[in-house]
Chain A
Amino acid sequence: MNQHSTNTDPPLLVRDMTVAYDKRPVLWDIDYASPPITRGHGSLTAIVGPNGAGKSTFIKACLGLLPVATGNVRFFGQPLAKARALVGYVPQRESVDWDFPVSVLDVVAMGRYRTLGWLSPVTRAAKAQALDALAHVGIDNLAHRQIGQLSGGQQQRVFIARALAQQARLYFMDEPFAGVDAATEQAIIAVLRSLRDQGVTVLVVHHDLQTVPTYFDHALLLNTRLIATGTIADAFTPTNLQRTYGGRLTLLEQASTALAQNIGPAGVRGQA
């Protein structure tokens, strides 16, 4: 852990964040604090909201990849420049060219580049750590394949492994479950849970409202403004979903069915 952080500093603290494209606000006055680390346990937070609600923008603005109009972001009480080593990022799978001439192991080792510094070549130790991360997501046997030869699910696991190789304390993941097979979905959720149990904070942009209560313990409901945030029991309520999604009934029905089935265990986990 970072020596400067104290127990009172939340892993992620966003104050007053407004982001605009072309003077049209995409995120408006967001104030958010991620759940504190309690007894060595981190948290899994689902970021949900309709298309165009600013979910990816929120992640990118926190990471300094987009300019913010106003606001500031603190990680473990520190500005991004001092906390980079603590923060990991899994971009959307479509954000890169999977025909790129590079091996799986090379991509995962990219997670170590910050530690390696500017000019050092990729060391044997970095490759060993990359292989270890690949083993965590169950595809270390594919280490020497070119990335284009993998299935969509395997490609997503490569991205997760690259984030693991960063050994961060807080992760942003942009739709890691989009278009993956069931086995990959289970493998990723197992990784996320083990991260949480090691005290890591994970924020995930998630589209499948049905699985939110089973996979996550906290939710952040976003539609340009922050609609609600808190434990699943407190924040992921039909009223809040209605306010986030407006009148899209089919989606809301799905969500309420999911809630009816899962509110018990999710609520207990949320308070744990």
Chain B
Amino acid sequence: MTCTLADAVGSIFWRLDFAPLLAAVLAGALCGLLSGVLVLRRSAMLGDAISHAVLPGLVIAFLLTGTRSVGPMLIGAALAGVLAVGMIEALRRLARVEAGAATGVVFSVFFALGVVLINAYADAIDLDPGCVLYGSLEGLRWPGLNSPSDLLNIETLTNTPRPIATLAATLAVTLVLFAGGFKLLRLWCFDAGLMASLGLRPGLVGGVVIALVAAATVASFEAVGSILVVALLACPGAAARHLTDRFGTHLLLSTLLAVLAAVAGYTLAVWGPGLFGHPHAVSAPGMIAVCSGVILLVCVLGRMVRKKLLALSQRHFA
């Protein structure tokens, strides 16, 4: 009897939870990896800015094509991103506004424009503001997937939900680029001035990273929503910063912490309320964002406590 119960639970997991969990893990790994780089460049706000600024591009691309497929979305996002970067530069030069302030102004205007557009055309299009902001992770289904063995089935694989396929492809491209250009990435993060003097084109590396952040935003927003993207582009890198003094380990930890936040957040959101007798699950992307914040807090506090203990023990032995 236990066997059949386990089977039943397993079947529910594969039918209802596997796809959203996989999407959350992929989005976590992708944003966490980029977060590691952005934090070391001291431009975690850049991820914030880009992920906000691409929103009107996404909406306009959707309005024009009526589809949520990747191509038009990516083009729309890229155009909005380029326009935003251009406006930031123009503000900085023509109006002599400081770079941080110019970034803040432009990305909040772009984001607001995106939200207005969504609300204005909410009747005409199948793209509601809640979905863009918070994603629709729990609604993600993988047709034909009932057990792990189905993952080996070609037909099931061709039915891979679009957000998962997009996330997996973006993650693969990011991993290949980061692995190939590992030492350049480290040099770019540490000392772009030296990189330029060596003739190694820091601008090119910077452009690729910005493009990857934009792509990660586009790939993630449908499943997990743009708010979670912002959290995942900042928290994991900042947390990993407290745990290691090697660049490769930092990127790895940043990725793993984001995955941990994704798994813990999803699990807590789906099964957590039930444990306390609440019938409804809470928003999974929201819980994942909370978890990534908690992980950051634990890492910061952990480092402070460790330093304190170290100082105490040194005083003791001195």
State whether A113 and B183 are in contact (beta carbons under 8 Å apart), knowing that A84-B198, A101-B241, A101-B247 are contacts in the complex. yes
State whether A106 and B42 are in contact (beta carbons under 8 Å apart), knowing that A91-B194, A95-B193, A101-B247 are contacts in the complex. no
Partner of A101, one of B183, B193, B196, B246: B246
Verify A89–B181 contact, CB threshold 8 A.
no
Q: B184 interface residue, CB < 8 Å from A?
A: yes
Q: B149 interface residue, CB < 8 Å from A?
A: no
Considering the complex, which residues of chain B in the window 3-52 have a beta carbon less than 8 Å from any beta carbon of chain A? 40, 42
Q: B182 interface residue, CB < 8 Å from A?
A: yes
Verify B200–A89 contact, CB threshold 8 A.
no
B interface, how many residues as a size bin? 20 to 34
Contacts of A64 in B (CB 8 A): 196-197
Partner of A65, one of B197, B200, B241, B249: B197
Cα A229 to Cα B16 with chains together (Å) = 77
Closest to B184 in A: A118
Q: Nearest-CB distance from A42 to chain B (Å)? A: 19
Q: Nearest-CB distance from B64 to chain A (Å)? A: 38
Partner of B190, one of A97, A114, A118: A97
Considering the complex, which residues of chain A in the window 89-128 have a beta carbon less than 8 Å from any beta carbon of chain B? 89, 91, 95-97, 100-103, 106-107, 110, 113-114, 116, 118-119, 121-122
Cα A96 to Cα B241 with chains together (Å) = 16
Cα A223 to Cα B40 with chains together (Å) = 36
Verify B197–A113 contact, CB threshold 8 A.
no
Q: Nearest-CB distance from B21 to chain A (Å)? A: 30
Q: Nearest-CB distance from A19 to chain B (Å)? A: 16
State whether A96 and B190 are in contact (beta carbons under 8 Å apart), knowing that A119-B180, A121-B182, A122-B183 are contacts in the complex. yes
Interface of A is mostly: mixed
Closest to A95 in B: B193
Verify A100–B193 contact, CB threshold 8 A.
no
Considering the complex, which residues of chain B in the window 177-194 have a beta carbon less than 8 Å from any beta carbon of chain A? 180-184, 186-187, 189-191, 193-194
Q: A57 interface residue, CB < 8 Å from B?
A: no
Contacts of A100 in B (CB 8 A): 40, 189-190, 247
**Interface flags, B159-181, vs A, CB<8A=1, else 0:** 00000000000000000000011
Contacts of A96 in B (CB 8 A): 190-191
Contacts of A110 in B (CB 8 A): 183, 187, 190-191, 194
Q: Nearest-CB distance from A88 to chain B (Å)? A: 8
Contacts of A119 in B (CB 8 A): 180-181
Top 7 A-B residue pairs of the complex, sorted by shortest distance between their CB atoms: A146-B245, A84-B199, A89-B197, A114-B198, A101-B250, A101-B245, A63-B197
Q: Could you jot down 13 A-B contacts, CB within 8 Å?
A: A63-B197, A64-B197, A65-B193, A84-B197, A84-B198, A87-B197, A96-B190, A101-B241, A103-B245, A110-B187, A113-B183, A118-B184, A162-B194
Residues of B within 8 A of A (CB): 40, 42, 180-184, 186-187, 189-191, 193-200, 241, 244-247, 249-250
If A96-B190, A102-B245, A110-B191 are given as contacts, then 9 extra A-B residue pairs at C-beta distance below 8 Å, sorted by A number, are A60-B193, A91-B193, A91-B194, A97-B40, A101-B245, A101-B247, A114-B198, A118-B200, A119-B180
